[in-house]
């Protein structure tokens, strides 16, 4: 169960004492069962402190028009800052993205090809033509796609178009993990022991792994984002890891070269934001804690890190700046480190672009990183000195994905968003999104719905605001991971800061099952479900009382409603009575008072249970009375590999769940498959 799985709550019978009426089933789903739909909120891209304190000098001229070579939330994010700076924007889009939010936000839009990224967002010829057609003076690449492609940067330079990012030398040097590691060593940056050359084949991979000593990390030389990365603990896993990593690397980056280095067990993933200009200045803008990951991809980030002391923070920051200066870095960039339990830190890689998680740094520093990138690209020096960079408050980011968190902590889900409501009415909340009701989450692009960020004066306040924001986030139409996000940020280990990159597998060794109800939470759920059911019945009776009705309706005088409620496989007897907006509910020999506005047409219902405020969501209500609500947000293989599925360019090995013989195969290499499709039959 995801987030908070409360299972099924079934109201089997209801009525006055001594008289029982059959009633429909009331099912209580949970956060993880929510179907979601996005809501377009262009005015509210930033609601917290994060951009509010970043002023803009209208006399400081930069560009008249910028083309944004990306899509989705990051394209919207860049356009937002351009509008603030008085810069016109050009959006590019594939044919299926013609009605997307980033297209609507931009001043101009150009279609650059069909849905597949290789024919649209990676189509350099089409993008260059769009630049010429619109007269854009500069290009912001966002992240992903062409953001770290040196050939694209060279093409722009040849046409006297400014690339809003570092120069091609820095992109090439830091984009290649082998070269970047050698540069880091020369810049006196701590590095992980390993093999600095390119691994030629599986046999050489095994030989190198034995020399380094298991465990080892096999990873793509040219990539990032967790793609092309595998951990190997023995020779067999090294051979498999070489195969999968090279395939993912070729698919994602067009470069199948791999390297191998020592794997640091139970590390933290902590990164340092850097900012450099074209005048030799460079700053470090504090760190981000990014250890909560699945399949080497980040899920929850925060700034600053609870783990670092001021001395370690400064040492990491100074090494990050030393590396940036070694390649004359001029833009926003991120130096990633692995940090062990003794605060020893080792260079992992440098991302020469804006990071997905940049909003948490903006929140605690008050800087607009997109604005700084644009200024630097125009040639202005940095406006700040190192001593000017604060750590003010705390910020947390949750990546909200269209994923099923009950499958490997999140396998991509597709669908159309039918309803969407961001929790922007809450204090300290920022949502970076690029969707709207009716948007499709397709197989072609990353399944991210949004980045949900909360800011507080300290970590405790930021986490409490995140919990409330997740409870108030309405998404319908696709499976999503809010349940998992909510469980992570309230987990005792996370709250204490006892985390590492293996957090999810350590806390949920058998996979994510959703929230496990305490006895008090169970009783609250039963009381809320019963109150909601009775409220709906009373409303139905109200509508039946029509003074002009030809057939008189006799309203039953119900003082107490005796209900049988099924939760999971247990049946509970519940007695409910009401006085105005308050219901008194007897559950398991205890009495709870539930008060709410009971607006049954709203997707969100705020209720108070004996002084505890709870936000529930009405997910669905059928004509027959069946209801589904959200409360508190709710197979390990054996045998051999039977097929490999590529989802979002990640290779996923599907293994047999039991011993058996393959009866038939319903797919072939290269086929596109959807969730629930039959792939292989066993007998």
Of residues 14, 75, 80, the one with CA closest to residue 46:
80
Confidence bin at 40 (pLDDT 50/70/90):
very low
Distance in angstroms (rounded) separating the CA atoms of residues 301 and 305: 9
CA-based radius of gyration for the chain: 27
The verdict on residue 14 lying in a domain is no
- 473, containing H or E segment: none
pLDDT at 586 > cutoff 80:
yes
Question: In this structure, are 410 and 480 located in the same domain?
Answer: yes
Q: What is the pLDDT of residues 312-361, one digit of tens each?
A: 999 999 999 999 999 999 999 999 999 999 899 999 999 999 999 999 99
| Cβ atoms of 460 and 393 closer than 8 Å | no
pLDDT in tens, 370-379: 999 999 999 9
Distance CA 64, CA 60 (A): 12
Specify the pLDDT at position 6.
30
- Indicate whether 172 and 296 sit together in one domain: yes
Answer whether residue 674 shows pLDDT above 90.
no
Output the domain CATH number for residue 490: 3.30.470.20
- DSSP state at residue 227: T
The answer on 289 and 380 residing in a single domain is: yes
| Mean pLDDT, all residues of the chain | 84
| Structural domain count of the chain | 6
The per-residue pLDDT for range 195-216, each reduced to its tens digit, is 877 888 999 999 999 999 899 9
Q: How far apart are CA 216 and CA 193, in angstroms?
A: 10
> Of 170-184, 478-492, 494-508, where does mean pLDDT reach its minimum?
170-184
Domain boundary among 242, 262, 282: 262
Task: Please determine, for residue 394, whether its predicted confidence score (pLDDT) is greater than 80.
Answer: yes
The answer to whether 300 and 311 have CB atoms below 8 angstroms apart is no
Q: Examine residue 410 and state whether it is found in any structural domain, yes or no.
A: yes
For residue 14, the cross-strand partners are 21
Percent of residues, the chain, with pLDDT higher than 70: 82
Q: Pick the last residue of a domain from 112, 147, 164.
A: 164
- Ranked by mean pLDDT, the top range of 56-65, 256-265, 296-305 is 296-305
State the CATH number of the domain containing residue 257: 3.30.1490.20
pLDDT for the residue numbered 431: 98
Residue 425 CB contacts under 8 Å (≥ 6 apart), including other chains: 472
Flag whether 6 is in a domain.
Answer: no
pLDDT at 93: 98
What is the distance between the alpha carbons of residues 632 and 627, in angstroms, rounded to a whole number? Answer: 17
Residues 6+ apart with CB under 8 A from 573: 562, 563, 564, 565
What token pair was written down for 41? 């909120």
Percent of the chain residues topping a pLDDT of 90? 60
Which of 508-522, 538-552, 662-676 is the most confident on average?
Answer: 508-522
Reported confidence tier of residue 194, pLDDT bands at 50, 70, 90: confident
**Who wins on pLDDT, 176 or 75?**
75
Asked if 81 and 153 sit in the same domain, the reply is: yes
pLDDT at 24: 30
Query: If you average pLDDT over residues 427-450, what whole number do you get?
Result: 93
Same domain for 419 and 401: yes
* 271 Cβ contact list (under 8 Å, min separation 6): 287, 288, 290, 334, 335, 336, 337, 355
Residue 108: burial class (beta carbons within 10 Å; 0-12, 13-18, 19+): middle
Q: With 80 as the cut, is the pLDDT of residue 20 above it? A: no
Verify that 232 and 366 share a domain, yes or no.
no
Average pLDDT over residues 397-411: 93
Question: Which residue is catalytic, options 349, 362, 403, 467?
Answer: 349
pLDDT top residue among 92 and 642: 92
CB neighbours (10 Å) of residue 132? 10
- Chain-centre distance of CA 519, in angstroms? 31
Residue 29 resides in a domain: no
The helix or strand, by DSSP H or E, that contains position 450, with its residue range, turns out to be strand 448-456
**349 in catalytic set:** yes
Q: Quick one: 534 and 618 in the same domain? A: yes
Pairing label, strands 88-94, 65-68: parallel
In tens, the pLDDT along 273-293 reads: 999 999 999 999 999 999 999
pLDDT at 3 over 80: no
In a domain, 454, yes or no: yes
Q: Is the peptide bond before 215 cis (omega within 30 degrees of 0)?
A: yes
pLDDT at 553: 52
pLDDT score recorded for residue 251: 76
Kindly report which listed range (5-19, 68-82, 252-266) carries the lowest average pLDDT score: 5-19
pLDDT of residue 10: 36
Residue-level pLDDT at 679: 73
Preceding omega of 304 cis (within 30 degrees of 0): yes
Alpha helices in 193-232 (DSSP H): 202-212
Query: Is residue 658, in this structure, part of any structural domain at all?
Result: yes
Is the residue at 60 inside a domain? no
Structure tokens at 113: 């090809």
Same domain, 339 and 410: no
d(CA 432, CA 262): 36
Instruction: Name the domain boundary from 262, 278, 300.
Output: 262
The predicted pLDDT at position 13 comes to 32
Q: Is the pLDDT score of 638 beyond 80?
A: no
Across the strands, what pairs with 617? 604, 630
Residues 369 and 304 in one domain: yes
| Residue 556 exposed, middle or buried by CB count within 10 Å (0-12, 13-18, 19+) | exposed
81 φψ region: left (φ > 0), alpha (ψ -120 to 50), beta (else)? alpha
CA distance linking residue 320 with residue 283, whole number of Å: 9
**Domain of residue 602, CATH code:** 3.30.700.30
**410, pLDDT greater than 90:** no
Are 621 and 676 within one domain?
A: no
**Burial classification of residue 542, based on how many CB atoms lie within 10 Å of its CB (0-12 exposed, 13-18 middle, 19 or more buried):** exposed
Looking at residue 42, what is its pLDDT? Answer: 29
Residues 623 and 606 placed together within one structural domain of the fold: yes
- pLDDT category of residue 660 using cuts at 50, 70 and 90: low
What is the distance between the alpha carbons of residues 335 and 272, in angstroms, rounded to a whole number?
5
Residues 6+ apart with CB under 8 A from 543: none
pLDDT of amino acid 12: 33
Reading across the β-sheet that carries 138-140, which strands appear in turn?
A: 108-113, 88-94, 65-68, 138-140, 162-163
For residue 47, being part of any structural domain is answered with no
- The residue-averaged pLDDT of 648-668 equals 59
Transcribe 527-581 into DSSP letters. Answer: HHHHHHHHHHHHHHHHHH--TT-SS-------S-EEEEEEETTEEEEEEEEEETT
Residue 504 sits in the same domain as residue 415: yes
Q: Domain holding 132: CATH number?
A: 3.40.50.20
Q: Is 638 exposed, middle or buried (0-12, 13-18, 19+ CB in 10 A)?
A: exposed
Going by pLDDT thresholds of 50, 70 and 90, the confidence category of residue 652 is: low
Mean local confidence (pLDDT), 464-492? 95
The more confidently predicted of residues 654 and 443 is 443
Domain that holds residue 368: 165-192+268-391
């Amino acid at each position: 169960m995801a987030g908070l799985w409360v299972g099924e709550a079934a109201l089997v019978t209801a009525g006055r004492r001594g008289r029982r009426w059959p009633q429909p089933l009331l099912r209580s789903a949970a956060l993880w069962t929510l179907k979601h739909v996005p809501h377009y909120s262009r005015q509210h891209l930033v609601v917290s402190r994060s951009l509010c304190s970043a002023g803009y000098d209208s006399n400081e001229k930069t560009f008249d028009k910028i083309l944004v070579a990306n899509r989705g939330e990051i394209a919207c994010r860049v356009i937002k800052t351009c509008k603030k700076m008085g810069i016109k924007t050009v959006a590019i889009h594939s044919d299926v993205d013609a009605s997307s939010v980033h297209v609507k936000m931009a001043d101009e839009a150009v279609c650059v090809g069909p849905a597949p990224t290789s024919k649209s967002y990676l189509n350099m010829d089409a993008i260059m033509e769009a630049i010429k057609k619109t007269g854009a003076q500069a290009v912001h690449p966002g992240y992903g796609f062409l953001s770290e492609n040196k050939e694209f940067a060279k093409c722009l330079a040849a046409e006297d178009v400014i690339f809003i990012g570092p120069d091609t030398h820095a992109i090439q040097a830091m984009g290649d993990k082998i070269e970047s590691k050698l540069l880091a060593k020369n810049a006196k940056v701590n590095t992980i022991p390993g093999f600095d050359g390119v691994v030629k084949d599986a046999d050489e991979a095994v030989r190198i792994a034995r020399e380094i000593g298991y465990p080892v990390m096999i990873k793509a030389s040219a990539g990032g984002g967790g793609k092309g990365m595998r951990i190997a603990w023995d020779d067999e896993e090294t051979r498999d890891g070489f195969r999968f990593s090279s395939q993912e690397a070729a698919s994602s980056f067009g470069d199948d070269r791999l390297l191998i280095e020592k794997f640091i067990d139970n590390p933290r993933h902590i990164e340092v934001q850097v900012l450099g200009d074209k005048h030799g200045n460079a700053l470090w803008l504090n760190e981000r804690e990014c250890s909560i990951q699945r399949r080497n991809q980040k899920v929850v980030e925060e700034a600053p890190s609870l783990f670092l002391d001021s001395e370690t923070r400064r040492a990491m920051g100074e090494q990050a700046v030393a590396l940036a200066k070694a390649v004359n870095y001029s833009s926003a960039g991120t130096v990633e480190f692995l940090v062990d339990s003794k605060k020893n830190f080792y260079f992992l890689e440098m991302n020469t672009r804006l990071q997905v998680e940049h909003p948490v740094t903006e929140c605690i520093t008050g800087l607009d990183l997109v604005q700084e990138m644009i200024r630097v690209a125009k040639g202005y020096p940095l406006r700040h000195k190192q001593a000017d960079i604060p750590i003010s408050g705390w910020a947390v980011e949750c990546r909200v994905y269209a994923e099923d968190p009950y499958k490997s902590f999140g396998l991509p889900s597709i669908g159309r968003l039918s309803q969407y409501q961001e929790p922007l009415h809450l204090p300290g909340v920022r949502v970076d999104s690029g969707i709207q009701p009716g948007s499709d989450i397709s197989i072609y692009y990353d399944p991210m719905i949004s980045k949900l960020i909360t800011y507080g004066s300290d970590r405790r306040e930021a986490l409490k605001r995140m919990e409330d924001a997740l409870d108030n986030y309405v998404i319908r139409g696709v499976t999503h991971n809010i349940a998992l996000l909510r469980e992570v940020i309230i987990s005792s280990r996370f709250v204490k800061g006892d985390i590492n990159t293996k957090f999810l597998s350590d806390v949920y060794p058998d996979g994510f099952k959703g929230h496990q109800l305490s006895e008090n939470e169970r009783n609250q759920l039963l009381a809320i479900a019963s109150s909601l059911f009775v409220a709906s019945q009373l409303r139905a009776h109200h509508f039946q009382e029509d003074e002009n009705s030809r057939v008189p309706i006799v309203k039953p005088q119900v003082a107490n409603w005796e209900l049988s409620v099924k939760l999971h496989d247990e049946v509970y007897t519940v007695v409910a009575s009401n006085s105005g907006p308050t219901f008194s509910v007897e559950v398991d020999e205890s009495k709870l008072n539930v008060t709410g506005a009971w607006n049954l047409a709203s997707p969100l219902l705020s209720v108070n249970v004996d002084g505890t405020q709870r936000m529930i969501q009405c997910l669905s209500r059928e004509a027959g009375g069946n209801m589904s609500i959200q409360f508190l947000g709710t197979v390990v293989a054996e045998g051999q590999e039977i097929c490999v599925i590529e989802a979002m360019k990640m290779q996923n090995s599907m293994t047999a769940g039991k011993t058996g013989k393959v009866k038939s195969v319903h797919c072939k290499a290269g086929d596109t498959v959807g969730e629930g499709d039959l792939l292989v039959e066993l007998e």
